[in-house]
Structure 1
Amino acid sequence: MDQLTALQKAGTLRAHVAAVLEEKCSADVPRETLSLDAEDAAPPVRGPFLGDFLRGTSVVYPLQVGEWQALDERRYDDIFGGASVRYQRPGNNSGWIDLYFYPVGLQEPDEQRTMAEGEREALLDARKESMASERDMSALQPLVVPVASLEASGPARVGANVLDFRYSTDGKAYSSVMIYAIDRMYVIKLRYSVEAAAASREQARREAETFFRTLLSGVEITSFGTCGRAPVADLLRLRAGCVGVDPLLPVVGEGQRELRFEYPAPHGAAGQ
């Protein structure tokens, strides 16, 4: 239930339930019988999201970003959970950055903002007992990150949302930052926590924004699936990062590491 609550607050519960229904329920069952209320039904899609629209993804990320080095990588059991990477400064244990990658598909800017607000509410719920008051967490603010354009006519920036806050645990105060972005059909979420004695909220936010801008310019995300049949204008406008129905072998250079996600076709799916 905690996971479903978090998905609901993030605005991704409908997509999650729709994918589960596609995977677990018989293809012979009419879609109308899978919903108790037409208003709550997931929007119709051409086949399931994971395993059809998105069949696999390669995320190539840098092992070092400025002074920060990747120390640990974790994959989550939930197919929608993706993976996370932890970065720290060598010899400095006062702070750490956790970077999350997980699939959400094509999202319009207003949908991304709604999902970011859901992440803020979930974070506030999780940390409210360790904060002096809810006012210790800032509102979401926009952050524009310049990036290389994927196509000649495609966008050369990624819109993100950022907030900062202060919390205490085990008698020690921390400054913390969250940055939330959607790029190439994946959420890229940063969580930075550092001892308040080492960095104020303002300093932590500047450090996190600098890290995120540098990181995003060095992350390659390529996905394959039937997303390649979506209108080209939408793929360019929303930076889909699709390479078509067939996978493309990525180039992983020195100082980089690849996260590969494969999404098998749901049981009973045709043409997979």
Structure 2
Amino acid sequence: MLIAQITDTHIKLPGKLAYRKVDTAAMLKRCVQELLALEPQPDLVLLTGDLVDLGRPEEYEHLKSILAPIRQRIVAIPGNHDERGAMRDAFRDGGYLPASGPFLQFALDDYPLRLIGLDTLIPGQGGGELCRERLDWLDRMLAERPDTPTLVLMHHPPFVTGIGHMDRIGLEGRDGFAAVMERHAQVELILCGHLHRTIRAQVGGRPALTCPSPAHQVALDIDPAAPSCFRMEPPGFMLHWWNDGKLVTHTAVIGDYEGPYPFFGGDGKLID
């Protein structure tokens, strides 16, 4: 099974730029083109939060129009820039989001890997939270199928990254989440967004990864006092390959670059 992960698309109303600089719609269109060119094609596409920038219904409609060429199932969780009601309406036809209730959380058992989507959103705030209610729900869902390999999806990473301004809008309830992870060895990987770059950590004995954005990336500055900045580094997405009971992750870089060039000549010898 091949899973594509796209995160932090930050789609605005048509013609609007993020931070007066980033054409997030154009960059997501390029990401979709790259995705459609993959061989083999992914079986599933995951969106791990901050789908739009201001949570407006019109932004979700714009997002859906950009994603329309993708024929695979799209599964999305909310980020801090999302709005639950508008997102629920936009993705109602997906059949996985709860029709009611305070959180957009779900467990999907349709694939070789079980998918558990968490809602870390605090309305109107940049930081996230896993309260007791959400943690208890997660614990129950994992206890239901202890022998099924599982991916946990969440927007805010459940670890301190070292990028100070992002850690200040990080996740409340990290310790409780780590305790849940310790109890459930079937969790293969925790997939996150929010940081707009690739970062790896261990949480409760389980690996966790943040994914790059198809648009702007948070500046890499391991300084508690670092200013809140982004860079136009190469955009990207991730591919998670479940094969023979093992999970392998690749970071795909979006854009035109030189190559591919062969390592070996026509004579089969390494080119020197």
Normalising TM by the smaller chain, what interval? Answer: under 0.3
Higher relative contact order, chain-length normalized (CA < 8 Å, sep 6+) = 1
More helix by share: 1
- Could you state the TM-score of these two structures normalised by the residue count of structure 2? 0.28
More strand by share: 1
- Could you state the TM-score of these two structures normalised by the residue count of structure 1? 0.28
